[in-house]
Amino acid sequence: MNNFTYYTPTKVFFGKGVEEQVGPTLRDAGFKKVLIHFGGGSVRKSGLMDKVEKSLQATGIEFVSLGNVAPNPKISLVREGIDLAKREDVDMIVAVGGGSVIDSAKAIGLGLSHGKDPWTMIEEKQQPTKSFPLTAVLTISAAGSEMSHSDVITNSDKQLKRSVNSDLLRPLFAFENPEYTSTVSPYQTACGIVDTMMHTLERYLTPDTDTELIDRLSEAILVSVKNAGRQAIKNPEDYEARATLMWASSLSHNGLTGCGKKATFPAHKIEHDISGLHDEVSHGAGLAVVFPAWARYIYTYDVRKFAQLANRVWKVDMDHDHPERTALEGIESMTRYFAEIGMPTTMQELGIDPSEFEMLAEMTTDGGAHPLPSYVPLGKKEIIEIYRLAEK
Ligand code: NZQ
Ligand code: ZN
Protein backbone atom coordinates (compact mmCIF):
# COMPACT_ATOMS: atom_id res chain seq x y z
CA MET A 1 0.00 0.00 0.00
CA ASN A 2 1.41 3.41 -0.95
CA ASN A 3 1.55 6.17 1.66
CA PHE A 4 -1.55 8.35 1.67
CA THR A 5 -3.28 11.30 3.32
CA TYR A 6 -6.98 10.84 3.91
CA TYR A 7 -8.98 14.03 4.44
CA THR A 8 -12.79 14.08 4.42
CA PRO A 9 -13.81 17.21 6.33
CA THR A 10 -17.44 17.21 5.18
CA LYS A 11 -19.95 16.75 8.00
CA VAL A 12 -22.70 14.56 6.54
CA PHE A 13 -26.31 14.57 7.73
CA PHE A 14 -27.99 11.51 6.23
CA GLY A 15 -31.59 10.28 6.17
CA LYS A 16 -35.22 11.33 6.33
CA GLY A 17 -35.86 14.94 7.34
CA VAL A 18 -32.22 16.09 7.48
CA GLU A 19 -33.00 19.12 5.29
CA GLU A 20 -34.69 20.65 8.35
CA GLN A 21 -31.30 20.84 10.04
CA VAL A 22 -29.79 23.14 7.40
CA GLY A 23 -30.77 26.37 9.19
CA PRO A 24 -29.79 25.32 12.74
CA THR A 25 -26.48 23.86 11.53
CA LEU A 26 -25.50 26.99 9.63
CA ARG A 27 -26.62 29.27 12.46
CA ASP A 28 -24.60 27.28 15.02
CA ALA A 29 -21.58 27.55 12.74
CA GLY A 30 -21.99 31.35 12.67
CA PHE A 31 -23.21 31.93 9.10
CA LYS A 32 -25.49 34.92 8.54
CA LYS A 33 -26.33 35.26 4.85
CA VAL A 34 -26.22 32.62 2.14
CA LEU A 35 -26.50 32.27 -1.62
CA ILE A 36 -28.87 29.42 -2.46
CA HIS A 37 -27.84 27.91 -5.79
CA PHE A 38 -30.06 25.47 -7.70
CA GLY A 39 -30.80 23.96 -11.11
CA GLY A 40 -33.70 23.80 -13.50
CA GLY A 41 -36.53 23.53 -11.01
CA SER A 42 -36.74 19.93 -9.74
CA VAL A 43 -36.05 21.18 -6.20
CA ARG A 44 -39.06 23.52 -6.29
CA LYS A 45 -41.32 20.78 -7.65
CA SER A 46 -40.26 18.28 -5.00
CA GLY A 47 -40.80 20.76 -2.15
CA LEU A 48 -37.18 20.49 -0.99
CA MET A 49 -36.41 24.14 -1.68
CA ASP A 50 -39.39 25.20 0.40
CA LYS A 51 -38.08 23.13 3.32
CA VAL A 52 -34.57 24.58 3.04
CA GLU A 53 -35.84 28.16 2.79
CA LYS A 54 -38.14 27.69 5.81
CA SER A 55 -35.32 26.17 7.81
CA LEU A 56 -33.10 29.19 7.05
CA GLN A 57 -35.90 31.69 7.79
CA ALA A 58 -36.68 29.99 11.11
CA THR A 59 -33.10 30.50 12.25
CA GLY A 60 -32.81 34.10 11.03
CA ILE A 61 -30.35 33.37 8.21
CA GLU A 62 -30.86 35.69 5.23
CA PHE A 63 -30.61 34.37 1.69
CA VAL A 64 -30.54 35.32 -1.99
CA SER A 65 -31.15 32.75 -4.71
CA LEU A 66 -29.70 31.92 -8.11
CA GLY A 67 -31.20 29.07 -10.15
CA ASN A 68 -30.87 27.71 -13.70
CA VAL A 69 -27.70 25.68 -13.31
CA ALA A 70 -27.71 23.40 -16.36
CA PRO A 71 -26.31 19.88 -16.46
CA ASN A 72 -22.62 20.20 -17.43
CA PRO A 73 -22.58 23.55 -15.53
CA LYS A 74 -21.44 26.63 -17.41
CA ILE A 75 -18.83 29.22 -16.46
CA SER A 76 -21.19 32.02 -17.62
CA LEU A 77 -23.64 31.35 -14.76
CA VAL A 78 -20.74 30.94 -12.33
CA ARG A 79 -19.67 34.50 -13.19
CA GLU A 80 -23.21 35.76 -12.52
CA GLY A 81 -23.13 33.97 -9.19
CA ILE A 82 -19.86 35.61 -8.22
CA ASP A 83 -21.27 39.09 -8.96
CA LEU A 84 -24.45 38.38 -6.99
CA ALA A 85 -22.61 36.89 -4.01
CA LYS A 86 -20.24 39.88 -3.88
CA ARG A 87 -23.10 42.41 -4.13
CA GLU A 88 -25.07 40.65 -1.40
CA ASP A 89 -22.01 39.96 0.77
CA VAL A 90 -22.91 36.32 1.45
CA ASP A 91 -20.74 34.22 3.75
CA MET A 92 -21.81 30.74 2.57
CA ILE A 93 -23.14 29.08 -0.59
CA VAL A 94 -25.88 26.47 -0.23
CA ALA A 95 -26.07 24.26 -3.33
CA VAL A 96 -29.42 22.47 -3.55
CA GLY A 97 -29.18 19.90 -6.34
CA GLY A 98 -26.85 17.43 -7.99
CA GLY A 99 -23.26 17.44 -9.14
CA SER A 100 -23.84 20.26 -11.62
CA VAL A 101 -25.27 22.62 -8.99
CA ILE A 102 -22.61 21.72 -6.43
CA ASP A 103 -19.82 22.18 -8.98
CA SER A 104 -21.23 25.54 -10.07
CA ALA A 105 -21.29 26.56 -6.39
CA LYS A 106 -17.71 25.36 -5.93
CA ALA A 107 -16.61 27.51 -8.87
CA ILE A 108 -18.44 30.55 -7.47
CA GLY A 109 -16.60 29.93 -4.19
CA LEU A 110 -13.31 29.69 -6.06
CA GLY A 111 -13.91 33.07 -7.67
CA LEU A 112 -14.98 34.68 -4.39
CA SER A 113 -12.09 33.39 -2.32
CA HIS A 114 -9.35 34.16 -4.86
CA GLY A 115 -10.70 37.33 -6.51
CA LYS A 116 -9.95 35.75 -9.90
CA ASP A 117 -11.95 34.34 -12.78
CA PRO A 118 -12.38 30.62 -11.97
CA TRP A 119 -12.14 29.56 -15.64
CA THR A 120 -8.71 31.18 -15.91
CA MET A 121 -7.66 29.37 -12.75
CA ILE A 122 -8.95 26.02 -14.02
CA GLU A 123 -7.55 26.43 -17.55
CA GLU A 124 -4.15 27.58 -16.30
CA LYS A 125 -4.12 24.79 -13.70
CA GLN A 126 -3.67 27.27 -10.84
CA GLN A 127 -4.13 25.35 -7.58
CA PRO A 128 -6.60 26.88 -5.08
CA THR A 129 -5.00 28.31 -1.95
CA LYS A 130 -8.19 29.34 -0.11
CA SER A 131 -11.66 27.96 0.35
CA PHE A 132 -15.13 29.49 0.51
CA PRO A 133 -17.68 27.79 2.80
CA LEU A 134 -20.08 25.51 0.94
CA THR A 135 -23.09 23.40 1.88
CA ALA A 136 -24.52 20.69 -0.39
CA VAL A 137 -28.15 19.62 -0.13
CA LEU A 138 -28.01 16.61 -2.42
CA THR A 139 -30.87 15.55 -4.73
CA ILE A 140 -29.31 12.89 -7.00
CA SER A 141 -26.87 10.05 -6.34
CA ALA A 142 -24.13 10.31 -8.93
CA ALA A 143 -21.18 12.69 -9.11
CA GLY A 144 -20.12 12.51 -5.46
CA SER A 145 -19.33 16.24 -5.49
CA GLU A 146 -21.02 16.54 -2.08
CA MET A 147 -17.81 15.17 -0.50
CA SER A 148 -15.29 15.26 -3.34
CA HIS A 149 -12.28 17.47 -3.93
CA SER A 150 -13.24 18.05 -7.59
CA ASP A 151 -14.95 20.79 -9.52
CA VAL A 152 -15.93 20.24 -13.18
CA ILE A 153 -16.99 23.25 -15.28
CA THR A 154 -17.86 23.77 -18.95
CA ASN A 155 -16.90 26.76 -21.06
CA SER A 156 -19.50 26.78 -23.86
CA ASP A 157 -17.62 29.33 -25.97
CA LYS A 158 -14.58 27.07 -26.06
CA GLN A 159 -16.62 23.81 -25.99
CA LEU A 160 -14.31 22.64 -23.22
CA LYS A 161 -15.05 20.88 -19.95
CA ARG A 162 -12.25 21.04 -17.43
CA SER A 163 -11.71 20.16 -13.78
CA VAL A 164 -9.69 21.22 -10.78
CA ASN A 165 -8.94 19.09 -7.73
CA SER A 166 -8.17 20.42 -4.26
CA ASP A 167 -9.09 19.51 -0.69
CA LEU A 168 -10.09 23.17 -0.34
CA LEU A 169 -13.08 22.40 -2.58
CA ARG A 170 -14.69 19.86 -0.26
CA PRO A 171 -18.02 21.08 1.14
CA LEU A 172 -18.27 21.88 4.84
CA PHE A 173 -21.71 20.26 5.22
CA ALA A 174 -23.71 17.76 3.15
CA PHE A 175 -27.39 17.01 3.73
CA GLU A 176 -28.52 13.78 2.07
CA ASN A 177 -32.15 12.69 2.26
CA PRO A 178 -32.64 9.72 -0.10
CA GLU A 179 -36.43 10.35 -0.26
CA TYR A 180 -35.81 13.33 -2.55
CA THR A 181 -34.05 11.13 -5.10
CA SER A 182 -37.19 9.11 -5.86
CA THR A 183 -38.20 11.72 -8.48
CA VAL A 184 -34.95 11.31 -10.45
CA SER A 185 -35.84 9.84 -13.86
CA PRO A 186 -34.83 6.23 -14.63
CA TYR A 187 -32.33 7.58 -17.19
CA GLN A 188 -30.64 9.98 -14.73
CA THR A 189 -30.76 7.29 -12.03
CA ALA A 190 -28.88 4.99 -14.41
CA CYS A 191 -26.36 7.74 -15.25
CA GLY A 192 -25.77 8.09 -11.50
CA ILE A 193 -25.32 4.34 -11.03
CA VAL A 194 -22.65 4.30 -13.75
CA ASP A 195 -20.84 7.39 -12.44
CA THR A 196 -20.79 6.06 -8.87
CA MET A 197 -19.38 2.72 -10.09
CA MET A 198 -16.78 4.55 -12.14
CA HIS A 199 -15.46 6.59 -9.23
CA THR A 200 -14.67 3.32 -7.49
CA LEU A 201 -13.58 1.42 -10.61
CA GLU A 202 -11.14 4.08 -11.83
CA ARG A 203 -9.40 3.75 -8.46
CA TYR A 204 -9.68 -0.05 -8.35
CA LEU A 205 -8.07 -0.57 -11.76
CA THR A 206 -4.67 1.06 -11.40
CA PRO A 207 -1.19 -0.43 -11.76
CA ASP A 208 -0.51 -0.35 -8.00
CA THR A 209 0.66 -2.70 -5.33
CA ASP A 210 -2.07 -4.95 -3.90
CA THR A 211 -4.49 -3.32 -1.51
CA GLU A 212 -6.67 -6.16 -0.25
CA LEU A 213 -8.65 -3.99 2.20
CA ILE A 214 -9.39 -1.28 -0.36
CA ASP A 215 -10.22 -3.88 -3.02
CA ARG A 216 -12.78 -5.52 -0.72
CA LEU A 217 -14.30 -2.14 0.25
CA SER A 218 -14.52 -1.22 -3.42
CA GLU A 219 -16.13 -4.53 -4.36
CA ALA A 220 -18.72 -4.05 -1.57
CA ILE A 221 -19.62 -0.66 -3.01
CA LEU A 222 -19.81 -2.01 -6.56
CA VAL A 223 -21.99 -5.03 -5.67
CA SER A 224 -24.29 -2.88 -3.51
CA VAL A 225 -24.69 -0.28 -6.27
CA LYS A 226 -25.31 -2.99 -8.87
CA ASN A 227 -28.11 -4.53 -6.77
CA ALA A 228 -29.61 -1.29 -5.45
CA GLY A 229 -29.44 0.17 -8.96
CA ARG A 230 -31.65 -2.59 -10.34
CA GLN A 231 -34.06 -2.12 -7.45
CA ALA A 232 -34.27 1.67 -7.81
CA ILE A 233 -34.90 1.46 -11.55
CA LYS A 234 -37.66 -1.13 -10.96
CA ASN A 235 -39.19 0.71 -8.02
CA PRO A 236 -38.16 4.40 -7.84
CA GLU A 237 -39.73 4.76 -4.37
CA ASP A 238 -37.61 1.99 -2.78
CA TYR A 239 -36.08 3.90 0.13
CA GLU A 240 -33.41 1.35 1.02
CA ALA A 241 -32.21 1.14 -2.59
CA ARG A 242 -32.16 4.95 -2.90
CA ALA A 243 -30.31 5.23 0.43
CA THR A 244 -27.68 2.71 -0.70
CA LEU A 245 -27.13 4.59 -3.96
CA MET A 246 -26.87 7.93 -2.18
CA TRP A 247 -24.33 6.88 0.41
CA ALA A 248 -22.40 4.94 -2.23
CA SER A 249 -22.16 8.07 -4.39
CA SER A 250 -20.49 9.90 -1.50
CA LEU A 251 -18.21 7.02 -0.47
CA SER A 252 -17.14 6.36 -4.05
CA HIS A 253 -15.70 9.82 -4.53
CA ASN A 254 -14.64 11.05 -1.09
CA GLY A 255 -11.23 9.43 -1.40
CA LEU A 256 -11.92 6.25 0.62
CA THR A 257 -11.52 3.82 -2.28
CA GLY A 258 -8.37 5.61 -3.44
CA CYS A 259 -6.35 5.19 -0.24
CA GLY A 260 -2.93 3.79 -1.07
CA LYS A 261 -3.59 4.00 -4.80
CA LYS A 262 -2.50 6.33 -7.58
CA ALA A 263 -5.65 6.73 -9.63
CA THR A 264 -5.40 8.64 -12.92
CA PHE A 265 -9.04 8.51 -14.14
CA PRO A 266 -8.41 7.96 -17.88
CA ALA A 267 -12.06 7.11 -18.73
CA HIS A 268 -13.21 10.29 -16.96
CA LYS A 269 -10.74 12.43 -18.89
CA ILE A 270 -11.84 10.88 -22.19
CA GLU A 271 -15.53 11.33 -21.26
CA HIS A 272 -15.23 14.95 -20.14
CA ASP A 273 -14.25 15.99 -23.66
CA ILE A 274 -17.24 14.13 -25.09
CA SER A 275 -19.75 15.92 -22.83
CA GLY A 276 -17.78 19.17 -23.25
CA LEU A 277 -18.24 19.01 -27.02
CA HIS A 278 -21.71 17.42 -26.90
CA ASP A 279 -23.63 19.24 -24.19
CA GLU A 280 -26.57 16.84 -24.59
CA VAL A 281 -24.43 13.91 -23.35
CA SER A 282 -24.77 13.20 -19.62
CA HIS A 283 -21.50 12.37 -17.88
CA GLY A 284 -22.72 8.94 -16.70
CA ALA A 285 -24.00 7.99 -20.16
CA GLY A 286 -20.66 8.96 -21.70
CA LEU A 287 -18.84 6.81 -19.15
CA ALA A 288 -21.11 3.81 -19.88
CA VAL A 289 -19.68 3.90 -23.40
CA VAL A 290 -16.07 4.90 -22.74
CA PHE A 291 -15.22 2.77 -19.71
CA PRO A 292 -16.02 -0.69 -21.15
CA ALA A 293 -14.10 0.26 -24.31
CA TRP A 294 -11.12 1.40 -22.23
CA ALA A 295 -11.36 -1.85 -20.25
CA ARG A 296 -11.37 -3.97 -23.43
CA TYR A 297 -8.32 -2.05 -24.66
CA ILE A 298 -6.34 -2.32 -21.42
CA TYR A 299 -7.31 -5.54 -19.59
CA THR A 300 -4.40 -7.60 -20.90
CA TYR A 301 -2.04 -5.39 -18.84
CA ASP A 302 -3.68 -6.53 -15.58
CA VAL A 303 -5.54 -9.76 -16.30
CA ARG A 304 -5.46 -10.88 -12.66
CA LYS A 305 -7.22 -7.75 -11.39
CA PHE A 306 -9.79 -7.66 -14.19
CA ALA A 307 -10.53 -11.35 -13.57
CA GLN A 308 -10.91 -10.71 -9.82
CA LEU A 309 -13.39 -7.93 -10.60
CA ALA A 310 -15.31 -10.18 -12.98
CA ASN A 311 -15.51 -12.95 -10.40
CA ARG A 312 -16.28 -10.95 -7.26
CA VAL A 313 -18.55 -8.24 -8.69
CA TRP A 314 -20.01 -9.61 -11.92
CA LYS A 315 -20.22 -13.20 -10.61
CA VAL A 316 -18.33 -14.76 -13.52
CA ASP A 317 -16.85 -18.19 -12.73
CA MET A 318 -13.08 -17.99 -12.46
CA ASP A 319 -11.32 -19.82 -15.27
CA HIS A 320 -7.94 -20.43 -13.62
CA ASP A 321 -6.43 -21.80 -16.82
CA HIS A 322 -7.61 -18.86 -18.88
CA PRO A 323 -8.09 -15.86 -16.55
CA GLU A 324 -8.16 -13.56 -19.59
CA ARG A 325 -11.48 -15.18 -20.56
CA THR A 326 -12.86 -14.43 -17.09
CA ALA A 327 -11.61 -10.85 -17.34
CA LEU A 328 -13.23 -10.32 -20.73
CA GLU A 329 -16.49 -11.95 -19.67
CA GLY A 330 -16.60 -9.53 -16.69
CA ILE A 331 -16.32 -6.56 -19.04
CA GLU A 332 -19.11 -8.00 -21.19
CA SER A 333 -21.31 -8.58 -18.10
CA MET A 334 -20.80 -4.99 -17.01
CA THR A 335 -21.70 -3.75 -20.50
CA ARG A 336 -24.87 -5.88 -20.49
CA TYR A 337 -25.77 -4.46 -17.06
CA PHE A 338 -25.40 -0.90 -18.38
CA ALA A 339 -27.66 -1.75 -21.33
CA GLU A 340 -30.17 -3.39 -18.97
CA ILE A 341 -30.50 -0.19 -16.90
CA GLY A 342 -31.03 1.85 -20.06
CA MET A 343 -27.57 3.26 -20.75
CA PRO A 344 -26.01 3.65 -24.20
CA THR A 345 -23.03 1.38 -24.81
CA THR A 346 -21.80 2.63 -28.20
CA MET A 347 -20.56 5.94 -29.60
CA GLN A 348 -23.30 5.66 -32.20
CA GLU A 349 -25.97 5.57 -29.47
CA LEU A 350 -24.34 8.64 -27.89
CA GLY A 351 -24.67 10.41 -31.24
CA ILE A 352 -20.92 10.71 -31.84
CA ASP A 353 -19.84 10.29 -35.44
CA PRO A 354 -16.52 8.52 -36.17
CA SER A 355 -15.43 11.68 -38.01
CA GLU A 356 -15.19 13.35 -34.57
CA PHE A 357 -12.82 10.77 -33.05
CA GLU A 358 -9.67 12.54 -34.22
CA MET A 359 -10.72 15.93 -32.85
CA LEU A 360 -11.84 14.47 -29.52
CA ALA A 361 -8.55 12.63 -29.09
CA GLU A 362 -6.70 15.88 -29.92
CA MET A 363 -8.64 17.70 -27.20
CA THR A 364 -8.00 15.01 -24.59
CA THR A 365 -4.26 14.91 -25.20
CA ASP A 366 -3.73 18.64 -25.84
CA GLY A 367 -2.99 17.99 -29.48
CA GLY A 368 -1.04 14.83 -28.68
CA ALA A 369 1.36 16.61 -26.30
CA HIS A 370 0.00 15.04 -23.10
CA PRO A 371 -0.91 11.35 -23.34
CA LEU A 372 -3.18 10.16 -20.51
CA PRO A 373 -1.44 8.11 -17.86
CA SER A 374 -2.94 4.62 -17.47
CA TYR A 375 -1.43 1.10 -17.45
CA VAL A 376 0.25 2.36 -20.63
CA PRO A 377 0.22 5.98 -21.82
CA LEU A 378 -2.85 6.72 -23.95
CA GLY A 379 -1.95 9.08 -26.76
CA LYS A 380 -4.12 10.16 -29.69
CA LYS A 381 -3.74 6.87 -31.53
CA GLU A 382 -4.66 4.76 -28.50
CA ILE A 383 -7.69 6.92 -27.60
CA ILE A 384 -8.98 6.65 -31.16
CA GLU A 385 -8.60 2.87 -30.89
CA ILE A 386 -10.66 2.97 -27.69
CA TYR A 387 -13.39 4.94 -29.49
CA ARG A 388 -13.35 2.38 -32.28
CA LEU A 389 -13.91 -0.44 -29.77
CA ALA A 390 -17.19 1.28 -28.86
CA GLU A 391 -18.06 2.60 -32.33
CA LYS A 392 -21.34 0.70 -32.83
O1 NZQ B 1 -31.74 20.95 -12.81
P2 NZQ B 1 -32.77 20.13 -12.16
O3 NZQ B 1 -34.14 20.57 -12.45
O4 NZQ B 1 -32.52 19.96 -10.68
O5 NZQ B 1 -32.68 18.66 -12.84
C6 NZQ B 1 -31.58 17.80 -12.72
C7 NZQ B 1 -30.79 17.64 -14.02
O8 NZQ B 1 -31.62 17.81 -15.13
C9 NZQ B 1 -32.06 16.42 -12.47
N10 NZQ B 1 -32.31 16.15 -11.05
C11 NZQ B 1 -31.46 16.28 -10.02
N12 NZQ B 1 -32.05 15.89 -8.88
C13 NZQ B 1 -33.33 15.57 -9.19
C14 NZQ B 1 -33.49 15.72 -10.57
N15 NZQ B 1 -34.67 15.47 -11.19
C16 NZQ B 1 -35.69 15.04 -10.43
N17 NZQ B 1 -35.59 14.85 -9.10
C18 NZQ B 1 -34.43 15.10 -8.45
N19 NZQ B 1 -34.33 14.87 -7.13
O20 NZQ B 1 -31.03 15.57 -12.92
C21 NZQ B 1 -30.37 16.19 -14.01
C22 NZQ B 1 -28.88 15.98 -13.86
O23 NZQ B 1 -28.39 16.71 -12.75
P24 NZQ B 1 -26.82 16.89 -12.56
O25 NZQ B 1 -26.59 17.72 -11.36
O26 NZQ B 1 -26.21 17.34 -13.84
O27 NZQ B 1 -26.34 15.37 -12.31
P28 NZQ B 1 -25.05 14.79 -11.68
O29 NZQ B 1 -25.12 14.78 -10.21
O30 NZQ B 1 -24.83 13.52 -12.40
O31 NZQ B 1 -23.86 15.81 -12.05
C32 NZQ B 1 -23.20 15.76 -13.29
C33 NZQ B 1 -22.09 16.76 -13.34
O34 NZQ B 1 -21.11 16.47 -12.32
C35 NZQ B 1 -19.81 16.37 -12.94
C36 NZQ B 1 -20.15 15.84 -14.31
O37 NZQ B 1 -19.08 15.99 -15.20
C38 NZQ B 1 -21.35 16.68 -14.66
O39 NZQ B 1 -20.96 17.95 -15.09
N40 NZQ B 1 -18.93 15.56 -12.09
C41 NZQ B 1 -18.51 16.13 -10.96
C42 NZQ B 1 -17.63 15.50 -10.11
C43 NZQ B 1 -17.16 16.14 -8.87
N44 NZQ B 1 -17.36 17.44 -8.71
O45 NZQ B 1 -16.54 15.48 -8.02
C46 NZQ B 1 -17.09 14.16 -10.41
C47 NZQ B 1 -17.80 13.45 -11.50
O48 NZQ B 1 -16.91 12.53 -12.09
C49 NZQ B 1 -18.38 14.32 -12.57
O50 NZQ B 1 -17.41 14.63 -13.56
ZN1 ZN C 1 -17.70 10.84 -12.68
∠ CA 191-196-201, nearest 5°, is: 120
The ranges assigned to domains in the chain are 11-180, 186-389
Closest-CA residue, ligand 1 atom 34, reads: 99
140 lines ligand 1 (CB under 6 A): yes
**DSSP letter string over 211-273?**
-HHHHHHHHHHHHHHHHHHHHHHH-TT-HHHHHHHHHHHHHHHSSGGGTT-----HHHHHHHH
310: helix, coil or strand?
helix
Q: Is 154 helix (H, G, I), strand (E, B) or coil?
A: strand
Any ligand 1 atom below 6 A from CB of 296? no
- Distances in Å between the Cα of 355 and the Cα atoms of 96, 384, 391 are 39, 11, 11
Ligand 1 centroid to residue 327 C-alpha, Å? 31
- The response to whether residue 182 sits with its C-beta less than 6 Å from ligand 1 reads no
Q: Rounded to the nearest whole angstrom, what is the distance from the C-alpha of residue 344 to the centroid of ligand 1?
A: 18
Q: What pLDDT is stored for residue 210 in this prediction? A: 73
CATH of 186-389, one of 3.30.450.20, 3.10.290.10, 1.20.1090.10, 3.40.50.1820: 1.20.1090.10
Q: pLDDT tens across 250-298, in order?
A: 999 999 999 998 899 999 999 999 999 999 999 999 999 999 999 999 9
| 310 Cβ below 6 A of ligand 1 | no
What is the Å distance from ligand 2's center to 185 Cα?
A: 18
- Give me the half-sphere count of Cα atoms (radius 13 Å) on the Cβ side of residue 246: 27
CA of 221 to the centre of ligand 1 (A): 20
Which of 139, 167, 189 is the best mutation target for the ligand 1 pocket, counting ligand atoms within 8 Å of the beta carbon and taking the most? Answer: 139
The pLDDT value recorded for residue 43 is 97
* Region of 353 on the Ramachandran plot (φ > 0 left; ψ -120 to 50 alpha; else beta): beta
**Residues having C-beta closer than 5 Å to ion ligand 2:** 195
Predicted local confidence at residue 211, as pLDDT: 84
Q: What is the pLDDT along the chain (392 residues), one digit of tens a residue?
A: 889 999 999 999 999 999 999 999 999 999 999 999 999 999 999 999 999 999 999 999 999 999 999 999 999 999 999 999 999 999 999 999 999 999 999 999 999 999 999 999 999 999 999 999 999 999 999 999 999 999 999 999 998 899 999 999 999 999 999 999 999 999 999 999 999 999 999 999 998 777 899 999 999 999 999 999 999 999 999 999 999 999 999 999 999 999 998 899 999 999 999 999 999 999 999 999 999 999 999 999 999 999 999 999 999 999 999 999 999 999 999 999 999 999 999 999 999 999 999 999 999 999 999 999 999 999 999 999 999 999 99
Radius of gyration of the chain (CA): 20
Report pLDDT for 2: 87
Q: Select from 8, 42, 163, 196 the residue to mutate for testing ligand 1; criterion: most ligand atoms less than 8 Å from CB.
A: 42
Compute the distance from residue 367 Cα to the ligand 1 centre, in Å.
29
Pocket flag, ligand 1, residue 154 (CB < 6 Å): no
Please check whether residue 264 is in contact with residue 206, taking contact to mean a CB–CB distance below 8 angstroms.
yes
| Nearest protein Cα to ligand 1, atom 36 | 283
Which residue's C-alpha comes closest to atom 14 of ligand 1? 184
Nearest to 145 by CA among 163, 123, 170, 122: 170
Determine if ligand 1 sits within 6 Å of the CB of residue 253: yes
Domain range 11-180, its CATH number among 3.40.50.1970, 3.40.50.300, 3.10.20.30, 3.40.50.1100: 3.40.50.1970
